[in-house]
Amino acid sequence: LGATQGLFLDGAWVDRAERFESLNPSYPSQIVSKHAKATAEDARRAVESAYQAFGDWSRVAAGERAGLA
C-alpha cells in the first residue's frame, strides 16, 4: 500500500513531480498508491508510441500476447 507509480511511455518508465493519490473506496483515508500525473505531451507520446507499435503487435498471436501480460 502507498507505493509510488510512474508512467510507462514508449518502453521506459518516466517519473513526474506532480502526483495524484488512489484511495481505497472502503477506507477513504487509506492511500492505495500514488501515481505520476501525465501531461498532455505524455499522452501524445503514448498515443504515438501505440500507433507505431500496432503493426508489429497486431501480428503477434493472441496466446503469445497473453503470456506477456
pTM value is: 0.72
Residue 10 pLDDT > 80: yes
pLDDT tens per residue across span 32-61: 999 999 999 999 999 999 999 999 889 999
CA distances from 7 to 4, 15, 45, 51, 64 (A): 10, 6, 11, 18, 24
| Confidence (pLDDT) at 2 | 84
Work out the percent of the chain whose per-residue pLDDT is above 70: 99
26 three-state secondary structure: coil
